[in-house]
């Protein structure tokens, strides 16, 4: 019975110390850009990452939208896009995990959605121009 009390105190101290230590580390951040390069406006676009749902407004042809989110753990992107003509396209791609920030670019083309760029470090690499 007497060993119970010190063990309980140690457990509570470990939990408090862990919570305090966790507050010093920022959350893992993800950034995703959805580019419209399909020749018509995107009227509806949604990207899901586990329980997070990023809903994008209307994206005119040649334009883009970006979103920032906290990475919820091991996951991937589920992209669903509806074009002005009513055509829908989808894509499941990418990988993210705790401990690494991510930066991803999804490009909506005429017949598909492409995961064009993925940077686990979060650094933006400029698009090459001809």
Is-contact 59 38, C-beta < 8 A?
A: no
Query: Could you read off the pLDDT tens digit of each residue along the chain, which spans 130 residues?
Result: 567 777 667 766 667 666 665 556 666 888 999 999 999 999 999 999 999 999 998 999 999 999 999 888 888 999 999 999 999 999 999 888 877 788 899 999 999 999 987 776 544 444 554 5
pTM of the model: 0.71
Listed in sequence order, the DSSP H helices in the chain are: 4-22
Beta strands 42-49 and 88-96 are unpaired
* Cα 123 to Cα 118: distance, rounded to the nearest angstrom: 10
């Amino acid at each position: 019975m007497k060993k119970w009390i010190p063990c309980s105190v140690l457990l509570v101290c470990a939990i408090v110390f862990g919570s305090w230590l966790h507050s010093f580390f920022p959350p893992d951040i993800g950034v995703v850009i959805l580019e419209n390069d399909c020749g018509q406006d995107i009227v509806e676009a949604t990207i899901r990452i586990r329980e997070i749902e990023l809903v994008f407004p209307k994206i005119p042809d040649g334009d883009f939208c970006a979103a920032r989110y906290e990475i919820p753990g091991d996951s991937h992107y589920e992209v669903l896009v509806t074009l002005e003509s009513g055509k829908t396209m989808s894509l499941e791609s990418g990988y993210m995990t705790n401990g690494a920030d991510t930066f991803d670019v999804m490009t909506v083309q005429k017949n598909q959605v492409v995961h064009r760029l993925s940077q686990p470090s979060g650094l933006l690499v400029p698009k090459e121009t001809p």
